[in-house]
Every structure is written in C-alpha cells, then in structure tokens.
Amino acid sequence: MTGPASHGTHRDARIATLAFAAIGIVFGDIGTSPLYTIQECFGEHGVAPTPENVVGVISQVIWSVTLVVTVKYLFFVMRADNRGEGGILALLALVPDKVRAAKRGGIGLVALLVLAGAALLFGDGIITPAISVLSAVEGLTVATTAFDHAVVPITVLILLGLFSIQSRGTASIGRLFGPVMTVWFLTIGVLGAVHVARAPAILAALLPTHALGLLHRHGFQGFRLLGSVVLAVTGGEALYADMGHFGRRPIRFAWLTLVFPALLLCYAGQGAMLLEHPEAAAQPFFSMVPRGWAVYALVALAAPATVIASQALISGVFSLTQQAIQLGFFPRVEVRHTSGEAEGQIYVPALNWIVAVACILLVLVFQRSSRLAAAFGLAVSGTMAITSVVYYLVARHTWGWSKLKSRAVLVAFLALDVPFFAANLLKFVDGGYIPLAVGAVFLTVMMTWRWGRDALRAHYAERARKLDDFIASLARGTILRPPGCAVFMASSAEGAPPVLTHYVERVGALHQSVVLLTITVPHVPFVPEAERFAVQTLGAGFVRIVAQYGFMESPNVTDVLARAAKDARLPVDPGAVTYFLGRETFLATSRGRLGAITESIFAFLSRNASTATAYFGIPPQQVVEIGTQIDL
C-alpha cells in the first residue's frame, strides 16, 4: 500500500533516525553542561546554597535554556539556513553583498563581526574538551579521596587518546555516539526525576519570578552569577552549526522529545537534592547518586559522554577552518577527508594538534574544572550576541522584515546575550582572557590573510594584461608553441594570469594547448554538479575553465579537467598536462601598501600555508612553480 499515509510514515521514520543520530553529535556539549553548571553557581563566585537561592538559581538555568536554546535558536535562528547549512559563516553568506561589503573594499564591519565570532568559536573549541573531560573525571573524588591526585593525569591521558584517533575519522566510533548519549540523557533525566519527587518544592523554579528575584536580592553578585548560569547554554550554537548534517526538523524533534526534558529534570533534580543536602553544593551532579559503585558507574558513563561532547567541538573546529579557507579568510592548511561517503568528515592535522596541546596545557595549569570554568562562557556568549546581530541583518535585508519586527527580535535576543556577555567579562582576570586571547590570535590571522590576498589581487590587477591583447601578441611575436598542454592556475577569470605572462616573457615559449583554470567559491555550502564548471574557447589554443566549489567542499583540479575533457570534448589528458603555479615571496618593507608588520605576518602565513599542489589535488610530478618577489 502506497499513498500519502505511507509517505508520511516513511518521512517520520527518517526524521526519527536522523534525530537519533543528532543526539550523539549535536547535543554532546550542552548535554554535559549539568556536570559543572550548578556546581559553579554555588562555587567561589556564586551564592550560598540556601533554599531561596537554590530555587532562584535553578529558575535562572531553566529559563536560560528555554529562552536561549529553545526559543532563540530552534525557532528563530535555525530558520536562517544557507541551502540547508547553518553556522556563523553560513549566516554571513546570507547577508546581501551591499550590506556585507566594505565601502572602500577590504573587510566590512559585518564580515569583521562574523570573523570575531568565528575566532571566539576556536577559543570555545579549545576550552570545551578540557573542562568537559576534567569535570567528568573529578566525579571519582566523590567516591573516594584516593583519586584526588589522579584526576589530572587521567584527564590528560583521555585527551591524548581523543586527539590521537582524530586522523582515523569518526565514521566507526560515530555509530556509538547516538546510543551512548541516549543512555546519558535517559540516566540524568531519571536521576533528576527521582530527586524532584523527593523534594517537589523545587518545582517553584518554573516560575520566572524566582529567577528575577535572585537578581534583585543579590544585586551585583546576582549579576555576576549570570557568568556561571550561561554555562547551561554552552553548546547551543552547535545546534545551528550542525543543522546541515541532520536538518532542522530532526534536531528540533530530538531536542523537544528527549534532550530538553532530560536537561530540565537533571537541573531541577540537582536543585531538589541541594534543598535536602546543601552541603553537596561542591559536587551536586555526582552527589545525586549514593557513594560507592553508583558514583563509579556514573563516572563511567560521564567520561564517554564528555569525549563525545569534545569530539563535536573538535569536528566543529575542523569544519570552521575548512569554511574559512574556502571563503578566503584563512591560509590553506592540509585537509584530509576521512570518509568516502560523508563530505563533512574531515581531519585537519595542524589544527588538531594545536587544539590538543592547548587543551592539555589548560588542564595542567588550571587543575580543576571550577578554575577552568572562569575561562568558559565568554566565547560562547560573545558568539551568541554576534549571531543575534547578523540574524537581524538577514531578517531585515534578506527576508524583508519590517523595521519594527526585526528590531523587536534583535532587542529580545540581545536582552539575553548582552547580560551574559557582560557577566562573563567580570571573569576576565580569572581566566576569561584565555578565549579572548585565542580569539585575538585567530582573528589576526584571518584578517591579515584576507588583507594580504586582497592586496596581492590588487597588485596583479594593476599589472595584468588583457587576454585578447596577449593572445594577439603571440601571433605577432616569435614565441615557440611546442606540442603539449599547459594548465595555468588563475585566481581571477579576467585577463591574462600573471604566472602565464611571466613564464612567456622569461622562456619565450608556450604549449600549443593552454588551459586557464580558475576555482571560485560562491557564498553557498555546496554547488550542484550540473553547475560545477563552465568552459569557454578563446582561440589560438586557449581555453578558460571556471570551476565552482561551495565553502564546505574541497576542490580537485584533476577531477575538473577530467570532467571538462569528457563533457566539453576538450583534447586534454589530465595525466599528461603540465600545471604552472605561481609562488610569491613577499618583501616586507615600509614601502608596501600593507606596511612592514602586516606584510611580515602575511609573508609568514604564506610561507607556512599548504601548497596549492596539495590543496587542489594536483599531481606534484606534473607541477612547475614560477617564483616572483613582491612588495605589497
């Protein structure tokens, strides 16, 4: 039997399957937040665990999760998808060019904001694995003090193991993510429900008046407390960033049916337990079970859950790096695909070990999750505020919302984001400087790379010859045209590539067949195969190919040539052509348009960037590099 009913059943089954997979990938970070959030709210910078304060704190946490994650992200921000993809860079691509671009070239204010948000996400990716795994292992100290000195070494070993297996990809271990995280959410939900049943007075926290009352009673200290409450919503950005992998509906389904109820019950359960045992405020999560084997069992479940949460953030850093490279905001680095089926499963060796070293250093320096929590939250709240601003621009200028409607939504979002960000700024000297410092480094790299590439394009544009004039000069001159095919990589589809003119001027010869190949990256995540490339015959043996790749795809030159030879019937044998690439050496002097310092940084990045040969999948034995010295 087929028909609307069977199609509906099939669609519902697919949504449920994707929702189950999303539980293991998307919700790891926010799902492990109960390990340390309530603990920090009653920690060194929190409030005393009196009954009134406990109800107020739980109320703040519950309403923060509800408003920020459920309302803001699931029902508003996730509507802003770029052909199904989410994330802050995908959101930038939805902003119209006239709003996104700078008036005089360079990086516009909107793009700068988004780059700052992306840079903060790099900082979040460094802190999350450290605090998540450390907080899980600390549960052992609840069972016995014998593990007090073993927490840090065990955490370091787990992190080393986690980063060591990244090169193998997540395809095999990823199958375990869904079941493990499902068990995790069911467990914390049941534990929470048991304690709520014992102390139902905690249900008063469902009234937002208790959240506001806590702020009013404690004044500045209550405002400072928001820096700990925000830990409950860390990972909310991942729901949006991972939307392209699973889709909006499966993520919403998983959140509303399992994750959200489990989190609310767990937070309420910790509050209920503290109403009866305020002395357990130092470790409220693991105190929800009796000492002994139950604690060990909970730690045994929490450890893989935090590893899964860390995996999601590490994969997010890899994905963010790939997008930034494709959009021209980051130097080329080696990107390995770890799956022949899933485009999004990638491994970036350089970033993997940078993040690994940074995570382990954080654990060794801070020693305890309570100290590390001071460094957590600033990156997340900053990125959330930037997302709100860019979402407003998309709603106003792309979707055509009225000023009243779009500004009302912006004010509502910032009413949540700004207090969280401001409260986290108060933790700056206690460790909040770490994500800002990491973000500043990555922002400097991205801006310098973009400035340098723009300056290089301008340098070549000023000196470029018209292609028609160049082809005509070949017929008039004494240039030899030996047999064979040469492929010249060109950053622009206009004019004669500098590497081509430089080669002909120095060598005095040019192959009979010449392919000018340009790779472009439009502001879309994926390009349909039917629109992958365009071929233009220019005469005199010249052919121009313009290939398009989305910002979540990896270009491959040999595939483009093979497709062009087959579909456009070009006399090109990809295995016999010679590729000519330019290799620039930058002279950092005060005479250049970038200045000595900026050009020095750009020159360093350029020297250490992955070669075009490796990045574009070009056979190295078929490559000829032509070097030039340039002062930008």
Name the region of 126 (left: φ>0; alpha: ψ -120 to 50; beta: rest): alpha
Domains along the sequence of the chain with CATH: 4-451 (1.20.1740.10), 465-630 (no CATH)
Listed in order, strand segments (DSSP E) in 448-489 are 485-489
pLDDT at residue 25, as a whole number: 78
pLDDT at residue 339, as a whole number: 56
CA-CA-CA-CA dihedral for 74, 79, 80, 84, to nearest 10 = 100
Dihedral sign, Cα of residue 19, residue 255, residue 394, residue 492: negative
State the SS3 of 256-267: HHHHHHHHHHHH
pLDDT at residue 209, as a whole number: 95
| C-beta atoms surrounding 577 within 10 Å | 22
- pLDDT averaged over 10-residue windows placed end to end, the chain, 632 residues: 53 75 83 91 86 96 96 92 80 83 68 88 84 86 74 91 78 70 95 96 95 91 91 85 79 92 97 94 90 88 87 80 85 75 68 90 87 79 91 93 94 94 86 85 91 85 83 81 90 85 88 90 83 86 90 84 79 85 79 80 87 84 85 71
> Distance between CA atoms of 407 and 410, rounded to whole angstroms?
5
pLDDT at residue 1, as a whole number: 45
Hey, what are 257's tokens? 């049916």
pTM for the model stands at: 0.82
Torsions phi, psi for 514 (to 5 deg):
-130, 125
pLDDT at residue 392, as a whole number: 94
pLDDT at residue 367, as a whole number: 85
